[in-house]
Amino acid sequence: MAGMTKDELAKLKPKEKDYMVALARVRGIYLRIYPDGSRVWLFRSKAGKKTLGNYGQWSVGTLEVEAARLWERVRAGKPLDGDEESTLPTMDELWKTFEREYFLENDLSEAYKTSFTEIWFRYIQPKLGSKRLDEVTSGDAKEILMELLEDNKKTPYNQVRSHLSVIWKWADAAHTDVLGRNWVYGRPHQYSPEKNRAFSLEEYKAFGNAIKRSRSPYKWNVLFLCLTGSRAGIFSHWNPAWVKEFHLDFPEKTKWVKNARWVIMPGKVPSLLSKMVLPLQTEQVSHSMESLCKLAGIERLGTHIPRKSYSTWGVRPPLDIKQEIVDAIINHKAPKTQRSYFLWDPPSLLPFAEQIHQHILSLMEIEL
């Protein structure tokens, strides 16, 4: 049988006897499928065979790297099973260098460094710390991520995925052609992205009532998101120097807010700052959002829903504000919107933001 891609191999069914199929474009790599459904990667050459591991433990990138290494041993006349001791660092050793150099080379806030370190020691290090760099596979990353999904921990899922990708890119630059494909390339198929929708009129009213009833101090952070359309990430990187009279002003090219330039704060929104918990990790905002949804009797929604709702109700009747203006208010990251930043500034956007702010307060039946 001719070689197949990994996706094609995944669709093959077990037969009465085990059989092997070559992986396309990776010389010497085969997948053996057993009658019980188990699947194992093999390397085959005239020098013999070597079992590599279960199907889910290897990405195509790592198989390419391992095949190249084994062909070198074949050409050198060395036995396939005579693995030489790896000179690559363990993940724990890599972390010490990463923490020292990456954090210093980049202009990162203390809150981001603290969050990154907490995620490493809580979720990544216990699973991967003792493994050498070339032993870590996408299967290892998937195992961590799937546990978080099963526990419905969406925020840690996204943080772990992001941080693993950052570590991989940094390590790959130092150990070129060793790591293969990024450990978190693509998403596990069970991943379900947040629903792409806005609050309905009934949900806005119920959510506003939940905010009034809630005793959580984090509710003010959530209300801030509802009335400004901003991203929850600003709370974890909070800097009092951003605060101006009626807006937050970010330095240019601030990556953790998607290069946003401002957050418009109309009406009495600035008064919320004294009630909000700052700084505040995104995970805590997410938990507060879920608690408020439960109190409101609506399905559990993520922290991006207030932003989507702000945009949706800003362009709908009775306001009918142009989409490009609403996008400029909330700093939408689309190229077309970013070009509009040259046409708008906080003072010119404030009247439109005031209209949306008053409309949402009326929908939520809240008075500030």
What are the boundaries of each domain within the chain? 6-75, 91-174, 201-364
Whether residue 32 has pLDDT greater than 50: yes
pLDDT digits (tens, 9 = 90+) for 90-126: 888 888 888 888 877 777 788 888 889 999 999 999 9
Write the CATH number of the domain with boundaries 201-364.
Answer: 1.10.443
Whether residue 31 has pLDDT greater than 80: yes
Give the mean pLDDT of 161-190.
Answer: 67
Contacts 24+ apart (CB under 8 A), 157-165: 157/191, 159/115, 159/119, 159/282, 159/283, 160/119, 160/123, 160/124, 161/187, 163/116, 163/119, 163/120, 163/124, 164/124
Give the mean pLDDT of 313-340.
Answer: 76
> Smallest Cα–Cα separation from 314: which of 272, 267, 356?
356
Write the CATH number of the domain with boundaries 91-174.
Answer: 1.10.150
pLDDT digits (tens, 9 = 90+) for 275-325: 999 988 877 888 899 899 999 999 888 888 999 999 999 988 889 898 888
Residues in the chain: 368
**Any idea what the Cα angle at residue 367 is, between residues 350 and 195, rounded to 5°?**
70
Q: How confident is the model at residue 172 (pLDDT cuts 50, 70, 90)?
A: confident
Annotate 190-209 with b (16+ C-beta within 10 A) or e (fewer).
eeeeeeeebbeeebbbbbbb
Whether residue 189 has pLDDT greater than 80: no
Whole-number average pLDDT of the chain: 82
C-alpha distances out from residue 222 to 6, 165, 203, Å: 43, 29, 15
Query: Between residues 193 and 209, which one has the greater pLDDT?
Result: 209
> Smallest Cα–Cα separation from 165: which of 144, 189, 196, 190?
144
Question: Same topology for domains 6-75 and 201-364, yes or no?
Answer: no
Query: Between residues 343 and 321, which one has the greater pLDDT?
Result: 321
Place of tokens 């439960």: 294
pLDDT digits (tens, 9 = 90+) for 252-263: 755 555 567 789
| Tokens coding 7 | 């996706």
Of 3.30.540.10, 3.30.160.390, 3.40.50.720, 3.90.470.20, the CATH number of 6-75 is 3.30.160.390
User: What's the rounded Cα separation, in Å, for the pair 265 and 186?
Assistant: 37
| Percent of the chain predicted with pLDDT > 70 | 86
User: What's the rounded Cα separation, in Å, for the pair 335 and 276?
Assistant: 32
pLDDT digits (tens, 9 = 90+) for 201-252: 999 999 999 999 999 999 999 999 999 999 888 888 888 999 999 999 887 7
Query: Between residues 220 and 88, which one has the greater pLDDT?
Result: 220
3-state secondary structure the chain: CCCECHHHHHCCCCCCCCEEEEECCCCCEEEEECCCCCEEEEEEECCEEEEEEEHHHCCHHHHHHHHHHHHHHHHCCCCCCCCCCCCCCEHHHHHHHHHHHHHHHCCCCHHHHHHHHHHHHHHHHHHHCCCEHHHCCHHHHHHHHHHHHHCCCHHHHHHHHHHHHHHHHHHHHHCCCCCCCCCCCCCCCCCCCCCCCCCCHHHHHHHHHHHHHCCCCCHHHHHHHHHHCCCCHHHHCCCHHHECCCEEECCCCCHHHCCCCEEECCCCHHHHHHCCCCCCCHHHHHHHHHHHHHHHCCCCCCCCHHHHHHHHHHHCCCCCCCHHHHHHHCCCCCHHHHHHCCCCCHHHHHHHHHHHHHHHHHHHCCCC
Q: Kindly report the pTM of this predicted structure.
A: 0.53
